[in-house]
């Protein structure tokens, strides 16, 4: 399976977010919200770090 770096990042973040949400919270609503927040932070931080590293050779 050949995937781009971004697709691998998104899939990885999604799977980890699901586990974090399930383990950290107790109600389904809390789990979904927390998982979505973790997913957003994963992607956001990855994009931010990518842009910070962009000028580097």
Partner 1 sequence: MANKAVQEAVSAKAQPKMSTLVRLCAAAWLVPGLGHLLLGRKWRGLILCATIVVMFLMGIAMQGEFFSTSSGSYLQTLGYFGELCVGVAMPAARFFGYAGDPLFVCADYGTAYLVAAGMLNVLAILDVYDIAMGRKP
Query: Hey, which residues between 28 and 57 contact partner 1 (CB under 8 A)?
Result: none
Q: Which is nearer to partner 1, 26 or 55 (CB)?
A: 26
Closer CB to partner 1, 1 or 52, in the complex: 1
Residue 23 Cβ, how far from partner 1 at the closest point, in Å? Answer: 5
On whether the CB atoms of residues 31 and 21 are closer than 8 A, the answer is: yes
Are 40 and 16 in contact, with CB atoms under 8 Å apart?
no
- 15 near partner 1 (CB under 8 A): yes
Question: Does 1 engage in binding with partner 1 (CB under 8 A)?
Answer: yes
Q: How far is CA 14 from CA 21, 32, 37, 39, in A?
A: 10, 12, 11, 6
């Amino acid at each position: 399976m050949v995937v781009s770096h971004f697709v691998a990042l998104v899939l990885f973040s999604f799977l980890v977010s699901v586990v974090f949400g399930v383990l950290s919270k107790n109600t389904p609503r809390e789990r979904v919200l927390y998982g979505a927040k973790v997913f957003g932070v994963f992607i956001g931080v990855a994009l931010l770090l990518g842009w910070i590293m962009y000028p580097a050779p």
